[in-house]
Amino acid sequence: MTAFCLAPSVAFAQKNKTGTKKKNVVILPKITVVNGDELKNLLKSTGKPLLVNFWATWCDPCREEFPDLVKIDNDYRGKIDFITVSLDDLEDLKFVVPKFLWKMKAKMPAYFLKTVDEEKIISEISDDWQGGLPFTILYNSAGKVVYSRAGKIKTDILRAEIDKTQNSNTLETQKVSPK
């Protein structure tokens, strides 16, 4: 993967309790740049359910739903894989996108899709994705799409779908486990 990682440190001027300005240096989240083929590799099954959120900082519902996605990541970490894929403009890769992820306290692996053919990628990801952001897709542990949502997620429904993948995983494990 010819990935390009960013983890810039940025100084923010913040007022402390006494009202004086103080510079705080923060490490912004790492973002890995991927092309279409690299993205498709990321979506291949690793034996765990995989949740993918396609988003952009310019997309209002993407920003609105992000805190819920961060909560889902916190609640299901280790049980599922969860990645975010930004379709922002390249000029926003260095600061705007990582700053947003930092503000959201997002810990899930963050990717940035760099492509010259948005239409091709979208049509390859899902038949149910007309192209609008946000788009969220859930694969079960076998790599099969079990849920997708174009537009803002409905948290309860997404959580229920993730839980279903957990239950089916347990059943599969029971089937193959020796007594």
Binding site for another protein (CB under 8 A): 58-61, 87, 116-120, 122-123, 129-134, 150-152
CB of 96 to another protein, least distance (A): 12
CB of 66 to another protein, least distance (A): 15
The pair of three-digit structure tokens given for residue 37, joined into one six-digit string: 């083929």
CB of 146 to another protein, least distance (A): 17
- Which residues partner with 137 through β-bridges? 52, 148
C-alpha span between 78 and 94 (Å, rounded): 29
CB closer to another protein, 47 vs 131: 131
CB closer to another protein, 119 vs 177: 119
165 in helix, strand or coil?
helix
Count how many residues are written for the chain: 179
CB closer to another protein, 57 vs 166: 57
CB of 155 to another protein, least distance (A): 17
Centre a 10 Å sphere on the Cβ of residue 49 and count the other Cβ atoms it contains.
26
| Nearest residue to 149 via CA among 138, 141, 159 | 138
CB closer to another protein, 117 vs 163: 117
144 in helix, strand or coil?
coil
